[in-house]
Structure 1
Amino acid sequence: MHGSERREQIIRQIQESKAPVSGTKLASFYNVSRQVIVQDIALIRAAGYEIISTNRGYILNQPKTVCRIFKVQHTDEQLEEELNTIVDLGGCVDNVMIHHRVYGKMEAELVLNSRRKVGAFMEDIRSGKSSPLKNITSNYHYHKVSADSEETLDLIEQELREKGFLVEERRQVV
Protein backbone atom coordinates (compact mmCIF):
# COMPACT_ATOMS: atom_id res chain seq x y z
CA MET A 1 0.00 0.00 0.00
CA HIS A 2 1.30 3.45 -0.94
CA GLY A 3 1.51 6.23 1.63
CA SER A 4 -1.19 8.29 -0.11
CA GLU A 5 -3.61 5.35 0.03
CA ARG A 6 -2.78 4.76 3.70
CA ARG A 7 -3.39 8.44 4.50
CA GLU A 8 -6.79 8.36 2.74
CA GLN A 9 -7.74 5.31 4.80
CA ILE A 10 -6.47 6.93 8.00
CA ILE A 11 -8.69 9.97 7.36
CA ARG A 12 -11.68 7.69 6.74
CA GLN A 13 -10.93 5.66 9.88
CA ILE A 14 -10.71 8.74 12.07
CA GLN A 15 -13.85 10.26 10.49
CA GLU A 16 -15.91 7.12 11.01
CA SER A 17 -14.71 6.34 14.53
CA LYS A 18 -16.88 7.42 17.45
CA ALA A 19 -13.83 7.42 19.76
CA PRO A 20 -10.30 8.79 19.30
CA VAL A 21 -8.06 6.50 17.23
CA SER A 22 -4.65 5.88 18.78
CA GLY A 23 -1.45 6.13 16.79
CA THR A 24 -0.38 2.75 18.12
CA LYS A 25 -3.58 1.17 16.82
CA LEU A 26 -3.09 2.80 13.40
CA ALA A 27 0.56 1.68 13.27
CA SER A 28 -0.43 -1.89 14.07
CA PHE A 29 -3.31 -1.89 11.59
CA TYR A 30 -1.13 -0.64 8.71
CA ASN A 31 1.95 -2.59 9.81
CA VAL A 32 4.13 0.52 10.02
CA SER A 33 5.95 2.26 12.84
CA ARG A 34 4.34 4.82 15.12
CA GLN A 35 6.72 7.41 13.61
CA VAL A 36 5.29 6.74 10.11
CA ILE A 37 1.79 7.44 11.50
CA VAL A 38 3.02 10.71 13.08
CA GLN A 39 4.44 11.73 9.68
CA ASP A 40 1.18 10.71 7.96
CA ILE A 41 -0.82 12.84 10.40
CA ALA A 42 1.47 15.81 9.66
CA LEU A 43 0.87 15.37 5.91
CA ILE A 44 -2.88 15.01 6.45
CA ARG A 45 -2.88 18.26 8.44
CA ALA A 46 -0.86 19.96 5.69
CA ALA A 47 -3.58 18.89 3.25
CA GLY A 48 -6.10 20.92 5.24
CA TYR A 49 -7.64 18.42 7.64
CA GLU A 50 -7.89 19.56 11.24
CA ILE A 51 -6.65 16.49 13.08
CA ILE A 52 -6.49 16.96 16.85
CA SER A 53 -4.13 14.86 18.98
CA THR A 54 -5.56 13.88 22.36
CA ASN A 55 -4.11 11.67 25.06
CA ARG A 56 -6.48 8.93 23.84
CA GLY A 57 -5.77 9.28 20.11
CA TYR A 58 -6.57 11.30 17.01
CA ILE A 59 -9.90 12.94 16.23
CA LEU A 60 -11.00 14.98 13.25
CA ASN A 61 -12.44 18.39 14.01
CA GLN A 62 -14.99 18.94 11.31
CA PRO A 63 -18.30 20.70 11.36
CA LYS A 64 -21.20 18.31 11.07
CA THR A 65 -23.09 18.82 7.86
CA VAL A 66 -26.03 17.08 6.29
CA CYS A 67 -27.16 17.33 2.68
CA ARG A 68 -30.40 17.03 0.77
CA ILE A 69 -31.27 17.36 -2.91
CA PHE A 70 -34.23 19.56 -3.76
CA LYS A 71 -36.02 19.51 -7.11
CA VAL A 72 -37.19 23.02 -7.87
CA GLN A 73 -38.71 25.12 -10.64
CA HIS A 74 -38.98 28.91 -10.97
CA THR A 75 -38.45 31.76 -13.39
CA ASP A 76 -35.26 33.74 -13.94
CA GLU A 77 -36.83 36.60 -11.99
CA GLN A 78 -37.32 34.31 -8.97
CA LEU A 79 -33.77 32.88 -9.02
CA GLU A 80 -32.30 35.33 -6.51
CA GLU A 81 -35.28 34.88 -4.16
CA GLU A 82 -34.86 31.09 -4.26
CA LEU A 83 -31.14 31.23 -3.49
CA ASN A 84 -31.55 33.85 -0.73
CA THR A 85 -34.32 31.76 0.85
CA ILE A 86 -31.88 28.86 1.19
CA VAL A 87 -28.92 30.85 2.54
CA ASP A 88 -31.08 32.97 4.87
CA LEU A 89 -32.23 29.80 6.61
CA GLY A 90 -28.65 28.56 7.09
CA GLY A 91 -28.17 26.42 4.00
CA CYS A 92 -25.40 26.32 1.46
CA VAL A 93 -26.36 25.82 -2.20
CA ASP A 94 -23.58 23.41 -3.14
CA ASN A 95 -24.53 22.98 -6.79
CA VAL A 96 -27.14 23.06 -9.52
CA MET A 97 -27.98 19.94 -11.55
CA ILE A 98 -30.27 19.16 -14.44
CA HIS A 99 -31.26 15.95 -16.18
CA HIS A 100 -31.47 16.61 -19.90
CA ARG A 101 -33.19 14.02 -22.07
CA VAL A 102 -30.43 14.16 -24.69
CA TYR A 103 -27.29 15.27 -22.84
CA GLY A 104 -27.95 13.45 -19.57
CA LYS A 105 -26.93 14.78 -16.17
CA MET A 106 -25.25 18.18 -16.13
CA GLU A 107 -23.93 19.78 -12.95
CA ALA A 108 -22.21 22.99 -11.88
CA GLU A 109 -20.67 23.75 -8.49
CA LEU A 110 -22.00 26.91 -6.81
CA VAL A 111 -21.11 26.91 -3.07
CA LEU A 112 -23.41 29.83 -2.21
CA ASN A 113 -23.72 30.26 1.56
CA SER A 114 -24.38 33.98 2.02
CA ARG A 115 -26.35 36.83 0.47
CA ARG A 116 -23.04 38.36 -0.62
CA LYS A 117 -22.14 35.25 -2.62
CA VAL A 118 -25.68 35.05 -4.04
CA GLY A 119 -25.37 38.71 -5.10
CA ALA A 120 -22.04 38.08 -6.83
CA PHE A 121 -23.50 35.02 -8.59
CA MET A 122 -26.52 37.02 -9.74
CA GLU A 123 -24.27 39.80 -11.03
CA ASP A 124 -22.33 37.21 -13.06
CA ILE A 125 -25.59 35.88 -14.51
CA ARG A 126 -26.92 39.37 -15.32
CA SER A 127 -23.70 40.66 -16.89
CA GLY A 128 -22.70 37.49 -18.71
CA LYS A 129 -23.65 36.03 -22.02
CA SER A 130 -24.85 32.83 -20.36
CA SER A 131 -28.19 31.98 -18.84
CA PRO A 132 -28.96 29.75 -15.87
CA LEU A 133 -28.60 26.01 -16.47
CA LYS A 134 -32.27 25.50 -15.55
CA ASN A 135 -33.35 27.26 -18.74
CA ILE A 136 -32.61 24.25 -20.95
CA THR A 137 -34.97 22.01 -18.95
CA SER A 138 -38.08 24.24 -18.74
CA ASN A 139 -36.81 25.72 -15.44
CA TYR A 140 -36.70 22.31 -13.70
CA HIS A 141 -33.45 21.73 -11.81
CA TYR A 142 -31.97 20.30 -8.63
CA HIS A 143 -29.88 21.79 -5.87
CA LYS A 144 -27.72 19.88 -3.43
CA VAL A 145 -28.07 21.88 -0.22
CA SER A 146 -25.94 21.34 2.87
CA ALA A 147 -26.69 22.58 6.38
CA ASP A 148 -25.78 22.00 10.01
CA SER A 149 -28.82 19.82 10.77
CA GLU A 150 -31.82 17.98 9.37
CA GLU A 151 -34.02 20.58 11.10
CA THR A 152 -32.42 23.35 9.02
CA LEU A 153 -33.00 21.33 5.84
CA ASP A 154 -36.63 20.76 6.91
CA LEU A 155 -37.10 24.54 7.31
CA ILE A 156 -35.57 25.16 3.88
CA GLU A 157 -37.82 22.52 2.31
CA GLN A 158 -40.90 24.00 3.97
CA GLU A 159 -40.06 27.54 2.82
CA LEU A 160 -39.32 26.41 -0.77
CA ARG A 161 -42.67 24.59 -0.75
CA GLU A 162 -44.54 27.65 0.58
CA LYS A 163 -42.98 29.89 -2.08
CA GLY A 164 -43.98 27.43 -4.80
CA PHE A 165 -40.41 26.59 -5.85
CA LEU A 166 -40.34 22.98 -4.65
CA VAL A 167 -41.42 20.32 -7.15
CA GLU A 168 -43.26 17.54 -5.37
CA GLU A 169 -42.24 14.15 -6.72
CA ARG A 170 -45.15 11.98 -7.77
CA ARG A 171 -44.80 8.42 -6.62
CA GLN A 172 -45.94 5.84 -9.13
CA VAL A 173 -47.98 2.92 -7.85
CA VAL A 174 -47.12 -0.32 -9.58
Structure 2
Amino acid sequence: MSQMKKVTGDDRRNFLLETLKNSKEPITGGDLATLTSVSRQVIVGDITLLKARNEPIIATSQGYLYMHMPSPALLERIVACMHPPDRTEEELILIVDQGATVKDVRIEHPVYGDLIASIMVSNRREVKKFMEKILVTNAGYLSELTEGVHLHTIAASSESILNDAEEALRKAGFLIG
Protein backbone atom coordinates (compact mmCIF):
# COMPACT_ATOMS: atom_id res chain seq x y z
CA MET A 1 0.00 0.00 0.00
CA SER A 2 1.40 3.37 -0.93
CA GLN A 3 0.79 6.54 0.99
CA MET A 4 -1.22 9.34 -0.59
CA LYS A 5 -1.01 13.07 0.08
CA LYS A 6 -3.34 14.37 2.77
CA VAL A 7 -6.75 15.12 1.29
CA THR A 8 -9.90 16.35 2.90
CA GLY A 9 -13.42 15.11 3.53
CA ASP A 10 -15.29 13.66 0.57
CA ASP A 11 -12.16 12.90 -1.49
CA ARG A 12 -10.63 10.97 1.40
CA ARG A 13 -13.86 9.05 2.10
CA ASN A 14 -14.19 8.18 -1.61
CA PHE A 15 -10.59 6.93 -1.57
CA LEU A 16 -11.28 4.86 1.57
CA LEU A 17 -14.41 3.41 0.01
CA GLU A 18 -12.61 2.40 -3.20
CA THR A 19 -9.67 0.98 -1.23
CA LEU A 20 -12.00 -1.17 0.88
CA LYS A 21 -14.07 -2.26 -2.13
CA ASN A 22 -10.91 -3.40 -3.95
CA SER A 23 -9.46 -5.31 -1.01
CA LYS A 24 -10.17 -8.98 -0.44
CA GLU A 25 -8.73 -8.73 3.09
CA PRO A 26 -9.70 -6.46 6.00
CA ILE A 27 -7.60 -3.29 6.34
CA THR A 28 -6.78 -1.84 9.74
CA GLY A 29 -7.67 1.70 10.69
CA GLY A 30 -3.97 2.35 11.24
CA ASP A 31 -3.13 1.26 7.69
CA LEU A 32 -5.91 3.43 6.27
CA ALA A 33 -4.64 6.35 8.36
CA THR A 34 -1.14 5.88 6.97
CA LEU A 35 -2.48 5.70 3.41
CA THR A 36 -4.37 8.96 3.81
CA SER A 37 -1.94 10.82 6.11
CA VAL A 38 -4.51 11.36 8.84
CA SER A 39 -4.99 9.94 12.33
CA ARG A 40 -6.78 6.68 13.06
CA GLN A 41 -9.49 8.72 14.81
CA VAL A 42 -10.20 10.57 11.55
CA ILE A 43 -10.54 7.20 9.83
CA VAL A 44 -13.01 6.03 12.50
CA GLY A 45 -15.09 9.15 11.83
CA ASP A 46 -14.87 8.66 8.06
CA ILE A 47 -15.97 5.02 8.35
CA THR A 48 -18.89 6.10 10.54
CA LEU A 49 -19.97 8.61 7.88
CA LEU A 50 -19.67 5.98 5.14
CA LYS A 51 -21.79 3.57 7.19
CA ALA A 52 -24.36 6.37 7.63
CA ARG A 53 -24.53 6.49 3.80
CA ASN A 54 -25.48 2.78 3.94
CA GLU A 55 -22.12 1.55 2.71
CA PRO A 56 -21.80 -2.08 3.88
CA ILE A 57 -18.55 -1.67 5.81
CA ILE A 58 -18.00 -3.77 8.91
CA ALA A 59 -15.32 -3.59 11.56
CA THR A 60 -13.78 -7.00 12.17
CA SER A 61 -11.02 -8.01 14.55
CA GLN A 62 -8.65 -7.85 11.56
CA GLY A 63 -9.74 -4.40 10.34
CA TYR A 64 -12.41 -2.84 8.13
CA LEU A 65 -14.04 -4.90 5.42
CA TYR A 66 -16.39 -3.92 2.61
CA MET A 67 -19.18 -6.49 2.42
CA HIS A 68 -19.81 -7.12 -1.25
CA MET A 69 -23.22 -8.52 -2.07
CA PRO A 70 -23.09 -12.19 -1.15
CA SER A 71 -23.28 -14.82 -3.80
CA PRO A 72 -26.82 -16.12 -4.22
CA ALA A 73 -25.44 -19.59 -3.46
CA LEU A 74 -24.22 -18.52 0.02
CA LEU A 75 -26.39 -20.02 2.74
CA GLU A 76 -26.57 -18.98 6.38
CA ARG A 77 -27.66 -20.63 9.58
CA ILE A 78 -27.82 -19.45 13.19
CA VAL A 79 -26.56 -21.92 15.78
CA ALA A 80 -27.03 -21.65 19.55
CA CYS A 81 -23.94 -22.54 21.55
CA MET A 82 -22.70 -22.59 25.12
CA HIS A 83 -19.18 -23.04 26.45
CA PRO A 84 -16.63 -21.42 28.75
CA PRO A 85 -14.22 -18.82 27.31
CA ASP A 86 -11.30 -21.26 27.16
CA ARG A 87 -13.10 -23.32 24.48
CA THR A 88 -13.69 -20.41 22.05
CA GLU A 89 -10.80 -21.23 19.74
CA GLU A 90 -11.83 -24.89 19.62
CA GLU A 91 -15.38 -23.91 18.69
CA LEU A 92 -14.29 -21.57 15.89
CA ILE A 93 -11.84 -24.10 14.46
CA LEU A 94 -14.52 -26.80 14.40
CA ILE A 95 -16.71 -24.54 12.26
CA VAL A 96 -14.06 -23.30 9.81
CA ASP A 97 -12.57 -26.78 9.40
CA GLN A 98 -15.92 -27.85 7.92
CA GLY A 99 -15.63 -25.10 5.28
CA ALA A 100 -18.01 -22.59 6.89
CA THR A 101 -17.44 -18.96 7.86
CA VAL A 102 -18.30 -17.64 11.32
CA LYS A 103 -19.86 -14.30 10.50
CA ASP A 104 -20.74 -13.04 13.96
CA VAL A 105 -21.53 -13.72 17.59
CA ARG A 106 -24.65 -12.43 19.30
CA ILE A 107 -26.04 -12.48 22.79
CA GLU A 108 -29.22 -11.29 24.44
CA HIS A 109 -28.20 -8.75 27.08
CA PRO A 110 -30.69 -8.01 29.87
CA VAL A 111 -30.28 -4.23 29.47
CA TYR A 112 -29.15 -3.62 25.87
CA GLY A 113 -31.09 -6.39 24.16
CA ASP A 114 -29.42 -8.13 21.22
CA LEU A 115 -25.70 -7.39 20.96
CA ILE A 116 -23.99 -8.52 17.76
CA ALA A 117 -20.27 -8.46 17.02
CA SER A 118 -18.66 -9.30 13.69
CA ILE A 119 -16.11 -12.13 13.71
CA MET A 120 -15.71 -13.02 10.01
CA VAL A 121 -13.31 -15.96 10.23
CA SER A 122 -13.17 -18.59 7.49
CA ASN A 123 -9.96 -20.51 8.19
CA ARG A 124 -7.52 -21.41 10.95
CA ARG A 125 -5.22 -18.48 10.18
CA GLU A 126 -8.06 -16.01 10.67
CA VAL A 127 -9.14 -17.80 13.86
CA LYS A 128 -5.57 -17.51 15.15
CA LYS A 129 -5.49 -13.77 14.37
CA PHE A 130 -8.86 -13.30 16.10
CA MET A 131 -7.65 -15.14 19.20
CA GLU A 132 -4.38 -13.15 19.26
CA LYS A 133 -6.35 -9.91 19.09
CA ILE A 134 -8.48 -11.01 22.06
CA LEU A 135 -5.32 -11.84 24.00
CA VAL A 136 -3.39 -8.67 23.10
CA THR A 137 -6.29 -6.34 23.86
CA ASN A 138 -7.35 -8.29 26.97
CA ALA A 139 -10.90 -8.05 25.63
CA GLY A 140 -13.62 -10.25 27.04
CA TYR A 141 -15.97 -12.41 25.01
CA LEU A 142 -19.60 -11.34 24.63
CA SER A 143 -20.61 -14.81 25.83
CA GLU A 144 -19.04 -14.04 29.21
CA LEU A 145 -21.99 -11.70 29.81
CA THR A 146 -24.44 -14.60 29.41
CA GLU A 147 -22.65 -17.44 31.20
CA GLY A 148 -21.40 -18.82 27.89
CA VAL A 149 -24.70 -18.76 25.97
CA HIS A 150 -24.44 -17.19 22.50
CA LEU A 151 -25.47 -17.48 18.87
CA HIS A 152 -23.30 -17.60 15.76
CA THR A 153 -24.33 -16.87 12.19
CA ILE A 154 -22.42 -19.33 10.06
CA ALA A 155 -22.30 -19.18 6.26
CA ALA A 156 -21.30 -21.69 3.60
CA SER A 157 -21.77 -22.51 -0.06
CA SER A 158 -23.87 -25.60 0.64
CA GLU A 159 -26.39 -27.02 3.08
CA SER A 160 -24.13 -30.03 3.65
CA ILE A 161 -21.28 -27.80 4.88
CA LEU A 162 -23.65 -26.11 7.32
CA ASN A 163 -24.91 -29.53 8.45
CA ASP A 164 -21.32 -30.77 8.93
CA ALA A 165 -20.43 -27.69 10.98
CA GLU A 166 -23.51 -28.09 13.14
CA GLU A 167 -22.80 -31.80 13.66
CA ALA A 168 -19.18 -31.08 14.63
CA LEU A 169 -20.43 -28.57 17.21
CA ARG A 170 -22.98 -31.09 18.49
CA LYS A 171 -20.39 -33.87 18.87
CA ALA A 172 -18.05 -31.53 20.78
CA GLY A 173 -20.85 -30.53 23.16
CA PHE A 174 -21.13 -26.88 22.04
CA LEU A 175 -24.73 -26.84 20.78
CA ILE A 176 -27.64 -26.01 23.03
CA GLY A 177 -30.60 -28.33 22.70
After TM superposition, the score normalised by the length of structure 1 is 0.60
Shift of 1:92: 0.1
How far apart, in 1, do the equivalents of 2:134 and 2:75 lie? 28
Name stretches of at least 5 consecutive residues in structure 1 with no aligned partner: 1-46, 51-60, 169-174
Partner of 1:94: 103
Partner of 2:5: none
Letter of the aligned partner of 2:137 in structure 1?
G
Partner of 1:117: 126
CA, structure 1 residues 49+69, in 2 after alignment: closer, same or farther (shift >3 Å)? closer
Q: CA RMSD in A?
A: 2.1
After superposition, the C-alpha distances for 1:92-118 in whole angstroms (9 at most, x for unaligned) are: 000000011221000011110010000
User: What secondary structure is seen at the aligned counterpart in 1 of 2:77?
Assistant: strand
Shift of 1:48: 9.4
How far apart, in 1, do the equivalents of 2:124 and 2:139 lie? 21
CA, structure 1 residues 81+100, in 2 after alignment: closer, same or farther (shift >3 Å)? same
How far apart, in 2, do the equivalents of 1:76 and 1:155 lie? 23
Partner of 1:71: 80
After superposition, the C-alpha distances for 1:35-74 in whole angstroms (9 at most, x for unaligned) are: xxxxxxxxxxxx9979xxxxxxxxxx94611000001011
CA, structure 1 residues 131+163, in 2 after alignment: closer, same or farther (shift >3 Å)? same
Question: Would you say how many aligned residue pairs link Structure 1 and Structure 2?
Answer: 112
Instruction: Flag the structure with larger Rg.
Output: 1
Letter of the aligned partner of 1:85 in structure 2?
L
User: What secondary structure is seen at the aligned counterpart in 2 of 1:167?
Assistant: coil
CA, structure 1 residues 48+87, in 2 after alignment: closer, same or farther (shift >3 Å)? closer
Off by >2 Å, runs of 4+ in structure 1: 47-50
Q: Percent identity?
A: 37
Aligned pair partner of 1:139 in 140, 148, 154: 148
Name stretches of at least 5 consecutive residues in structure 2 with no aligned partner: 1-65
How far apart, in 1, do the equivalents of 2:118 and 2:165 lie? 19
